[in-house]
Amino acid sequence: MSSNDLSSPVQYIKGVGPQRARLLARLGIKTVRDALFYLPYRYEDRSSIKKIVHLRPEGLHTVTGKVLKADVITPNPKRQKFKIFEVVVSDGSGILKAKWFNQTYLKKLFSTGQQVVLYGMVKYNYRGTGFEIINPEYEILDENENEEANPSASGIHTGRIVPIYRSTEGLSQRQLRNIIYSVVGSSAIHVSDPMPLEIIKPYNLPDLQESLSNIHFPSASSASGGLEDLNRGTSPYHQRLAFDELFTLQIGLAVIKKGEVLEKGIAFSPDERLINRLLDKLPFKLTGAQEKVFRDILKDMRSPVPMNRLIQGDVGSGKTVVALMSMLAAVECGYQAALMAPTEILAEQHYINIHRLVEDLGLKIHLLTGSKRNKEIEVIASGDADIVIGTHALIQEGVSFKKLGLIVIDEQHRFGVMQRAILRKKGINPDTLIMTATPIPRTLALTLYGDLDYSVIDELPPNRSPIITKLFSEKNKNHIYTLIEEETKKGRQVYVVYPLIEESEKTDLRSAITGAEGLQKIFPHLRAGLIHGRMKPVEREDVMKEFKNGNIHILVSTTVIEVGVDVPNATLMVIIHAERFGLAQLHQLRGRVGRGSNQSYCILLNYGGSEDSRKRLEVMVETTDGFRIAEEDLNIRGPGEFFGTRQSGMPDLKVANLLRDAKILEMARKEAFSLIERDSSLAGYPQIRKSIEDLWGKRLELFKTA
């Protein structure tokens, strides 16, 4: 093989045989390129060399000196097997003993007269009379670099900022570092930079080869920016690699978007007659933000390009009405409209709410969920349903619409780029509106929904006073009863929410039931109701109705009520085992109160007790800003888990971090979209095409043929 073939197997790297190749494969390193892009996860500064005379114990230090003595000793004659390899070095300022336990093979490497660099923990010796360095990392300098003046010139493991990699059993940090050192030395210069200079240059980013070399083995000059930048992944070299990765990601999204734009959609021309009737009926005026967003939507709907728009709006910002108005616009033009929710419960709740709002507009509304199918499917296919509300069942095989014009996807985070592509592949090409109640940090929105246009409802309806949130521990649990008493005395209503986590669903449910019974006993003069996911939809609906019209004062529930429930008279939300919820979910739950003009409260009962869970929950007390909460949640859980990126079909990112690299993401996005504008097939950029294939794999194929 030639050393410039980056796709050659690692086995051909110097020092790698079949066995090490197998170990490397466990780390995902199969080719020379993989090794080059296998980045350190942290760095240690072993570059500042201390004079032995200046050493102080209890700390990691680097020293360099000449070997005076190197011996294996047996400190305890009764334990012949216990051996210590000892080296004594001198740097002219003093003498230091280095000790390695049970590593007698080192004897073969060290000999007197060598110049060495040692890095390790400095401690008092056994007698407390001097210092020694224990199990240090070591470097034996070449003859010709035997000068104290320049010990870092050949350092791999010491005398420099040293990379630390995630390794695997059987492959030591030192071995792995040696392998990568050799790969960087021989192959980094053969990496050809896929990024055109005109894109990279304005951002002052270093070139790719330089970045790869320095990200592994920062040169003394490059490290001047600091160990911290390297460790945070914000060094210029990290930024360069992150830029490439995010650029490639965004190019993929730009390609998808371009494909969507080229498709033919419906040009609606609604006369807004149904919409105006709805508006007349509403007990409130739309907020400016709702107006504006609805105009964005209408503009999209009127154009023949299929709409793909994301609507972001915090809990309670009034997305439902906007969605409904959009659906009415489609219905006015003789099309069907569908609203898809991720769970049956949510679908039912939307059905109840929307049904109530449009009952007397003479429209036919249907509910389609997994458990309620056959009859409904016929109705939908026959066109005898104007608005269909349902779950994923809506896009499953066997469901066909007579004339579907608009699909609204609510609470979309489990419904990503891929699912939308599937929808189009079914041959349905309706306008699509995606609603999210979970505020998505802009950086994530740009990535996960980077092919979408988006609008934000950035204003809450007037007369809402901020909810007061308090964190309770088990100790002050009883105070909750006082609060319930106080609120209900004022004629207000209360939610008490229990977690429902799949693994322990039975016990969870039991505790919700017990909770309801308990509250009923404590408050015999009030009525406590119970609602959970195991109940039949009609039963649930009955309980909800009773709560809505005030006949139930305390509603105990599982997370059923997370989204969609709307009872403005409810002013107290108590969340039991708050530590078992994600922050974004707590934010949704809290959003069930504070919907009227009365002061509302949210009590988070933390049974966790741990410092971590308390800190996490503190965020809820500090802010009601959904964006901040989402960002915090993202920090804690990582984007993959937060939004299920894996299910959503987005490529995994190796270098870039969407939170940390938000600025780079914006730059990369701008450049990527403008490049696709200039050269939509990337005919002039074969290298970029190749990078896209590497990152996106087959996923992009789906879009090409869609």
313 touches which of ligand ADP, Mg ion, none (CB within 5 to 8 A by kind)?
Answer: ligand ADP
Q: Of 596 and 608, which CB lies nearer to ligand ADP in the complex structure?
A: 596
Q: Scanning residues 311 to 340, which ones bind Mg ion (CB under 5 A)?
A: 319
Q: Which of 560, 575, 588, 653 shows the shortest CA–CA distance to 439?
A: 588
* Contact set for ligand ADP, span 509-568 (CB under 6 A): 566
Binding mask 295-314 for ligand ADP (x = CB under 6 A): ------------------x-
Counting contacts by CB under 6 A, is residue 287 touching ligand ADP?
A: yes
x/- mask, ligand ADP, residues 575-604, rule CB under 6 A, reads --------------------x---------
Cα–Cα distance between 177 and 217 in angstroms, integer? 10
**Distance of alpha carbon 581 from alpha carbon 579, whole angstroms:** 6
> What is the SS3 assignment for 28?
coil
Whole-number minimum distance, CB 185 to ligand ADP, in Å? Answer: 57
Which tokens hold the place of 221?
């000059």
Sole binder of ligand ADP in the list 47, 62, 239, 320 (CB under 6 A): 320
Check the CA dihedral 653-659-661-666 and report its sign: positive
Residue 137 bridge partners (DSSP): 119
By CB under 6 A, what part of segment 445-484 binds ligand ADP?
461
Which tokens in the block code for residue 670?
């701008």
Helix axes of 173-187 and 18-26: crossing angle, nearest 10 degrees: 100
* Cα dist from 116 to 18, 136, 279, 335, 581, whole Å: 31, 11, 82, 80, 54
DSSP string, 73-123: E-S-TT-TT--EEEEEEE-SS-EEEEEEET-GGGGGT--TT-EEEEEEEEE
Nearer to ligand ADP by Cβ, of 121 and 286: the residue is 286
Residues 256-285 that bind ligand ADP (CB under 6 A): 284-285
Q: Give the nearer residue to ligand ADP in terms of CB position, either 565 or 603.
A: 565
Q: Is 122 exposed, middle or buried (0-12, 13-18, 19+ CB in 10 A)?
A: buried
Instruction: Report the distance separating Cα 196 and Cα 687, nearest Å.
Output: 9
Binding flag, residue 133, ligand ADP (CB under 6 A): no
> Judged by CB, which is closer to Mg ion: 212, or 339?
339
Q: Considering the complex, state which of residue 176 and residue 457 has its C-beta at the smaller distance from ligand ADP.
A: 457
* Closest to 560 in 3D by CA, of 583, 582, 528, 537: 537
Subset of residues 321 to 340 that bind ligand ADP, contact rule: CB under 6 A: 321
Measured from the CB atom, the residue of 319 and 532 that comes closer to Mg ion is 319
| Footprint on residues 617-656 left by Mg ion (CB under 5 A) | none
Indicate which of Mg ion, ligand ADP, none lies near residue 461 (CB less than 5 to 8 Å, by partner kind).
Answer: ligand ADP
Q: Does 286 bind ligand ADP (CB under 6 A)?
A: yes
> Which residue is at the shortest CB distance from ligand ADP?
318
Interacting partner of 379 out of ligand ADP, Mg ion, none (Cβ under 5 to 8 A depending on kind): none
Closest C-alpha among 357, 350, 374, 426 to residue 395: 426
Closer residue to ligand ADP (CB): 304 or 466: 466
Choice from 206, 316, 416, 430 touching ligand ADP (CB under 6 A): 316
Residues that bind ligand ADP (CB under 6 A): 284-287, 290, 313, 315-321, 437, 461, 566, 595
